[in-house]
Amino acid sequence: MLFNYLVSNGDAHLKNFSYYRLPSGYYQLTPAYDLLNTALHVNDDNGLALDLFADDYETPSFTANAFLAYDDSLELGRRLGLPLSRVRKLLADSVGHEDKIQRLIDRSFLPEELKLRYAAVVADRRQRLRYSAATQP
């Protein structure tokens, strides 16, 4: 979900997540597929096809700013029962790698104008994921 938000993949609906059953009987998430930046083609608001919270909950950050940010990801992790220290580390890692992301965009077959727009979307999402309305995230 975090990656899809970062690259504005508004096509990340439930049919784009699959599991396969291991011989042990456990299920494992399959490799990601159908990853794209829908913001290059349509206004996709927050860039996710799925709501983060089933109960229409909005963090104070979202209520104040109308965009998903650090606080929303932290709340999702909390609701999933993930250690918050791990969620914070994942968020910090996700907003990094600017050079690597830019190199991938530059190597793509997108026209130059779309490469610039793609980089701008990722930069905007990166900034959003660094933003917290809380005094101590």
Q: Residue holding tokens 């999933």? A: 80
| Mean pLDDT computed over 105-114 | 96
pLDDT in the model for residue 33 = 81
pLDDT in the model for residue 108 = 94
- Distance of CA 59 to CAs 55, 62, 76, Å? 12, 5, 10
User: How high does pLDDT run on average in the chain?
Assistant: 89
Strand partners, 29: 19
Task: Record the pTM.
Answer: 0.83
Q: What is the pLDDT of residues 74-90, one digit of tens each?
A: 999 999 999 999 999 99
**Contacts for 108 with CB less than 8 Å, ≥ 6 apart:** 115, 118
What is the share, in percent, of the chain residues with pLDDT greater than 90?
Answer: 57
| Predicted confidence (pLDDT) at residue 52 exceeds the cutoff of 70 | yes
pLDDT in the model for residue 69 = 93
Element (H, E) at 27: strand 27-29
| Predicted confidence (pLDDT) at residue 123 exceeds the cutoff of 90 | yes
pLDDT in the model for residue 135 = 56
Residue count of the chain: 137
Q: What is the pLDDT of residues 12-39, one digit of tens each?
A: 887 888 999 999 999 999 998 888 898 8
- Distance of CA 96 to CAs 6, 58, 110, Å? 11, 26, 23
3-state helix, strand, coil in the chain (%, to 5): 50, 5, 45
Helix axis angle, 112-130 to 70-79, nearest 10°: 70
